[in-house]
Amino acid sequence: DAEITQSPRHKITETGRQVTLACHQTWNHNNMFWYRQDLGHGLRLIHYSYGVQDTNKGEVSDGYSVSRSNTEDLPLTLESAASSQTSVYFCASSETSGGSDTQYFGPGTRLTVL
């Protein structure tokens, strides 16, 4: 079955370290998204991509970057981790808009920055 996976599921790192969170989907979806979820804020969009080599900033993109070298993967990199980036991170994907914009989510990565 097609799915979307994230790894690692849990990560503890130190302030200032570079961290990369992986997202992999097998639906062949063009659109991929990264969100963070914090108490009191709901889901906030970090970065998104509409296809290979396309990346765009979301509302909370500072300190994060993404790259899209193929359809299946959109890794999220924290260039220099900060305590404010402790959060739960979700990746999602959707088909190219043409009918359904439903986003399907991965299981999440819980990141703790000490």
Partner 1 sequence: GESVGLHLPTLSVQEGDNSIINCAYSNSASDYFIWYKQESGKGPQFIIDIRSNMDKRQGQRVTVLLNKTVKHLSLQIAATQPGDSAVYFCAENTAGANSKLTFGKGITLSVRP
Residues at the contact surface with partner 1, assessed by CB under 8 A: 31, 33, 37, 39-43, 45, 48, 50, 88, 90, 94, 96-97, 100-108, 110
Q: Shortest gap between Cβ of 88 and partner 1 (angstroms)?
A: 7
Q: Which is nearer to partner 1, 61 or 104 (CB)?
A: 104
46: tokens are: 């970090």
Burial environment of residue 2 by CB neighbours within 10 A (0 to 12, 13 to 18, 19 or more): exposed
Under 8 Å CB-to-CB from 42, ≥6 apart: which residues? none
Q: Measuring CA to CA, which residue among 104, 3, 109 is closest to residue 64? A: 109
Q: Which is nearer to partner 1, 11 or 110 (CB)?
A: 110
Q: Shortest gap between Cβ of 7 and partner 1 (angstroms)?
A: 13
